[in-house]
Structure 1
Amino acid sequence: MKLGKRLWYPALIVATLVWLYFSRDTLAAEVPAKGGWPWWAWPTILFLFTFTIGIISPMSGVGGGVLFVPLSTAFFPFSVDFIRGAGLIMAVTSAYSSVPSFARKGLANIRLMAAVGWVVMVSSIIGGFVGLWVSNAFPNGKWYIIFALGIILLVVFIIMITSKRVEYPEVKEQDSVSKALGLKGSWYEPTLGRIVEYKVTRFVLSLFLFAGVGFIAGMFGLGAGWANVPVLNLVMGCPIKVAVATSMAIIMVNAAAIWVYMAKGATLPLIVVPAVLGITLGARVGAWLTVRVKPAFIKYLVLGIMLLAAVLNVIKALKGLHVI
């Protein structure tokens, strides 16, 4: 088993390099010409870019797509539809790479993920269909929604930065549904040197919030960690480390909208292959770092990523509407 784990990543790297080599003629035709760069330049840059995102993603509970989509749209010469499709693939890849480590340490609450996952899955699929439909039927419609998304992120950022006790929220009493579902847990916190127990509440309200998050995430290929963490932490009362880890578990089902983009042909191997490789390797490093840092650091990392995503979305929307 250990030998298999050791061979997995080298085998993935070798397989990717072999695929890129034998597909070089096809890829060269797909890569936009820019400055006379060779065909392999953009995949290499994309790999390094997504490797960095992979490290940040599990540490913050923010799916790779929420950074990949706005940043790639700004700096890479690819169609936004391909970027959105790749963003969802990156989000779920990052989650699958880091959740097993979180689950073994007791941080990812799988029972909680299963309880809300069905709502997230259905709403993200609907959002994927609506997102592609809006792109074709209402060319300017998506810019208004992206602008609204940026404003929502700014509001959540303000709420989180002004809220108290988000590292270890106190839930004095569970609601009846959360209690019936047994939504509680515990884990050993090395920074405190003791076992931390917790329980969650406001389950019904959270279902509606997760439905909205799933719809928006599927619509724009952003993943959902940018909103999962605030809902889990501020609304349901999960400790920040549990919120981060459980958010990554929820992203595994939230990215169901990926099938909508694949069915519509909105995925491109040139983008997906180096992006998945980078996010996979980076997520392993990020998961290793997450359990070794203090919750306060993760909180500020979440806030920084959330603010960055909000600003990028607002700017992108205003440019799309020709306001700036």
Structure 2
Amino acid sequence: MLMAAPAWAASGPGKASTLAWWIWPLVLFVITFVMGIVAVLAGVGGGVLFTPIIGGFFPFNMDFVRAAGLIVALSGSLAAGPGLLKRGMADLRLALPVALIASAAAIAGAMVGLKLPDNITQTALGIAILAIVAIMLVAKKSEYPDVKKSDNLSSILRITGIYHEHSTDQDVNWKIHRTPIGLFSFIFIGFAAGMFGLGAGWANVPVLNLMMGAPLKISVATSKFLLATTDTSAAWVYINKGAVIPMIIVPSVIGIMLGSLIGVKLLAKTKASAIKMTVIVVLGFSGVRSLLKGLAIWP
């Protein structure tokens, strides 16, 4: 059976697919399987790869792509979150105020994203992805930021803790600073996550680590846990609007999760810097593609 204009295809003249319906789930599974491997090796979330690549090169309506991108990122977070909490890596006192702010902003972002025409969404997504590429190129990481003194807000909220660093077999005491500006930043991070269906790990870690001064491992683990709340809030908006299509979601989630398992096994044997540069190149190309697609220069 051929589908001239499937319900989940992008709208507009010349965008109908003539391939059999079952081809797309199969191709999605293969692409997301590779994405899952690369995401682990490069230390990025699957959502930030999924949305620009699938939205730019597949004939799917962007509403469905963004909904799938949120659920892809959410799946990884739900799988990792409980273990991170048990190990004391993800910190609830740090996560809860951030989650409240980012979740509310993500709902607003999802509602705005669903009202925008596809061309505007694609253009904005292209700009956002190119900005993420720039952040990945220039952002540095600090294993143990030097926080001399907690600020008043973090002291009131008692955002501090101790975790055991297995590599050095010692307990690490940590605290944060610049809490007001850090929490304010999550308004924009949550809004972007909901609007573009990207997940937010690409922005969570730099803000928690470099701006607020949380240790890198605490930042990464808390960011992974945060996706479960931020992306769930935005995903419900897309579910309520009927933008969640099993034909896109199911192969994508299965592919990402199976690929992640392979990526974990390859992580010790692969140069992360080389993989990260590959991701930057792929994201850069996808960002340019989305931008030109939105501007109708490269349909």
SS at match of 1:195: strand
Task: Kindly indicate whether residue 252 of structure 2 is the aligned counterpart of residue 266 of structure 1.
Answer: no
Q: Which residue does 1:316 correspond to in 2?
A: 290
Indicate the RMSD between aligned Cα atoms, in angstroms. Answer: 3.2
SS at match of 2:116: helix
Deviates more, 1:276-285 or 1:72-81: 276-285
d(CA) in 2 for partners of 1:130, 1:189: 42
Letter in 2 for 1:309: L
Q: Which runs of 5 or more residues in structure 2 are unaligned?
A: 9-16
Aligned twin of 2:128: 149
Deviations 1:124-170 (A, max 9, x none): 000011111112xxx5433442243134324423441xx4x612211
* Other-structure match for 1:63: 45
1:31-76 Cα shifts (integer Å, max 9, x gaps): 9443xx6x54432332343334345556766432211111112343
Distance apart, 1:227 and its partner CA: 0.9
> Structure 2: which amino acid aligns with 1:77?
P
Number of aligned positions between the proteins: 287
Query: SS where residue 77 of structure 1 aligns?
Result: coil
- Give the structure-1-normalised TM-score: 0.76
Q: Which residue of 2 aligns with 1:196?
A: 172
2:88 to 85, 106, 128: 106
Take 1:223 and 1:315, find their aligned partners in 2: how far apart are those partners? 20
State percent identity of aligned pairs.
Answer: 38
Equivalence for 1:116? 98
Distance 1:48 1:106, change over 3 A: farther
Task: Pick closer, same or farther for the CA change 1:240–1:53 going to 2, 3 Å.
Answer: farther
> Which structure dedicates a bigger proportion of its chain to helix?
1
Q: Is the CA contact 1:59–1:244 (under 8 Å) kept in the aligned structure 2?
A: no
Contact 1:120 1:210 in 2 (8 A): yes
Find the aligned partners of 1:273 and 1:321 in 2 and give their Cα distance: 31
1:188-239: CA deviations, max 9, x gaps?
3333333333222211111111110111111111111111111111111122
Distance between the aligned counterparts of 1:305 and 1:239, measured in 2? 24
Partner Cα distance (1:299, 1:201) in 2? 30
Structure-1 separation of matches of 2:221 and 2:279: 16
The 1:298/1:109 distance shift into structure 2, 3 A limit, reads farther
Shift of 1:110: 2.0
Q: Aligned in 2, Cα 1:74/1:60: closer, same or farther, shift over 3 Å?
A: same
For 1:286 and 1:174, the matched residues in 2 are separated by: 37
Q: Which runs of 5+ in 1 are unaligned?
A: 1-23
CA distance in 1, matches of 2:74, 2:165: 26
The answer to whether structure 1 residue 177 and structure 2 residue 153 are counterparts is: yes
Question: Which residue type is aligned with residue 203 of structure 1?
Answer: T
Q: How high is the TM-score relative to the length of structure 2?
A: 0.82
> 1:78 aligned to 2:53?
no
* Residues 42/154 of structure 1: CA separation in 2 closer, same or farther (3 Å cut): closer
C-alpha displacement of 1:113:
1.0
CA distance 1:217–1:286, change in 2 (3 Å): same
In structure 2, relative to structure 1, the CA distance for the partners of 1:203 and 1:283 (3 Å cut) is: farther
- Return closer, same or farther for 1:213/1:306 CA change in 2, 3 Å cut-off: farther
Provide Cα deviations, 1:160-183, integer angstroms capped at 9, x if missing partner. Answer: 1xx4x6122111111111122221
Contact 1:116 1:207 in 2 (8 A): yes
Name the CA shift for 1:216/1:49 in 2 (closer, same or farther; >3 Å). Answer: same
Q: 1:10 maps to which residue?
A: none
Counterpart of 1:93 in structure 2 is 75
